[in-house]
Structure 1
Amino acid sequence: MKIVGVGVSEGMLTEEAIRAIDGAEVIYGSKRAIEIASSYIKCETHEIDFKHLDEIPDDAVVLSTGDPMLSGLGTLLRGEVIPGISSLQLACARLKIDLTSITAITAHGRDIEASKKRILDEAGRGRYLFILPDPKRFGSIEISKILLEAGYELPVVVLENLGYENEKIRYGSTQNPPEPETMLYVMVVHP
């Protein structure tokens, strides 16, 4: 099995990812991942059922949005991982933040209390925080609120639809956080 990162949006695939997709006999992925890679797909595709990951055949190419090792399928499946251009990389490029000065935290699909603790622990270290929120349960407004309640009055940036035509970058603070207009966003908290 190959787990292939298709990047955060169209045009963000690596050459290695394109070769893997081109040589695939069967591809699995989310609807969005399949759409991102669609111009390179020449075989049968299946929308992934996350409840039945163990039923994916060993010879499949599995598409993961962004990079499979940033809160992606590379942590859930066994096989060769081909990296993709992640939302973390693109956010750092857009904001001109050195990747070595940022800590990545994912709250998406995670235990909310554990996510809160991790965010507060990392905020205390004085580094940039790159946060993949869980927009339905624990988004930028809730994250800003817990930071503010803990005494962190910090700049906050919400990056929506990274890499797409309708990409938006919104600036605010934990006191006045940007409210995303879409579910497809990440958040950066400045130290």
Structure 2
Amino acid sequence: MIVVGVGVGPGMLTEEGIRAIRKASVVYGAKRALELAQEHITCEAKTIKDYKSLHLLPADAVVLSTGDPMFSGLGKFAGKNDTIIPGISSMQAACARTKVNLTNLCAITAHGRDFEPAKAELIQELKNGRNIFLLPEETFGSCEVAEILKELGINAELYTCENLGYPEERIAKGTPDNPPIAETILYGLLIVQKR
């Protein structure tokens, strides 16, 4: 299969991704991914019903993944002979909007899983002096991260980044004492340490 990252929002699909989609004989994706790529789909498009069966798709099947397939995306289902075409991730878009350099950034995801391993990784990377881009979980978001920062005595700026790339995009800035509160449950949290 060919896994194509369609970007985090409209207009963020790469030329390589567009070419793969246009050449496809069948395209699979979640509703949002299909919507982001719809103007380039010229074949049958199917909604993914069973993610664990993606590895059974034929080699020429195109699977759309929102953002970048290798950042909490569908790239995890690709086999060694499958192709992955990157997309613009929520992390890249958030850093561009906030002008935060990617070179000292650690990506962590708690989304859709037990957040304890992500929390442990977050604490370790903060102690290492790294900035963090976190895909939070409903019970582990900006307020919980703010408490961790206060416990560690780390001065930082926090940004909640919601609906990146869409007209309703919203980025709110805060501190550990006054953390930004997201209005949706799906958002990115950028933690930038002040040095």
Does the alignment reach a TM-score above 0.5? Answer: yes
1:73 aligned residue: 74
Give distance in 2, aligned partners of 1:149 and 1:53: 43
Deviation of 1:153 (Å) = 4.1
Q: Is the 8 A contact 1:129 1:190 kept in 2?
A: yes
Q: State the Cα RMSD in Å.
A: 1.5
Q: 1:145 to 1:52 in 2, by over 3 A?
A: farther
1:15 aligned residue: 15
Give, as a single letter, the amino acid of the residue that structure 2 aligns with 1:52: S
Give, as a single letter, the amino acid of the residue that structure 2 aligns with 1:148: K
1:149 aligned residue: 151
Deviation of 1:165 (Å) = 0.7
Q: Summarize deviations over 1:97-152 as a string: whole Å, max 9, x none.
A: 12112111111123211111001001111121111112x33222223233333433
State the identity %: 53
Question: Which aligned pairs between 1:163-174 and structure 2 lie closer than 5 A?
Answer: 163-174=165-176
2:98 aligned residue: 95
Give distance in 2, aligned partners of 1:50 and 1:176: 39
Q: Which runs of 5+ in 1 are unaligned?
A: none
Give distance in 2, aligned partners of 1:31 and 1:141: 30
Q: Summarize deviations over 1:33-57 as a string: whole Å, max 9, x none.
A: 1111111111111211224334433
Give distance in 1, aligned partners of 2:161 and 2:183: 10
Q: Summarize deviations over 1:81-103 as a string: whole Å, max 9, x none.
A: 00111111111111111211211
Question: Which aligned pairs between 1:1-191 and structure 2 lie closer than 5 A?
Answer: 1-48=1-48, 49-78=50-79, 79-134=82-137, 136-191=138-193
Q: 1:104 to 1:42 in 2, by over 3 A?
A: same
Moved over 4 A (4+): none
Q: Is the 8 A contact 1:116 1:146 kept in 2?
A: no
Q: Is the 8 A contact 1:133 1:186 kept in 2?
A: yes
Q: How many residues align?
A: 190
Give distance in 1, aligned partners of 2:101 and 2:115: 28
SS of 2:38 mapped into structure 1 = helix
Q: Is the 8 A contact 1:170 1:178 kept in 2?
A: yes
Give distance in 1, aligned partners of 2:103 and 2:155: 23
Compute the TM-score of the two structures, normalised by the length of structure 2.
0.91
Give distance in 2, aligned partners of 1:152 and 1:76: 37
Give distance in 1, aligned partners of 2:187 and 2:110: 12
Q: Which runs of 5+ in 2 are unaligned?
A: none
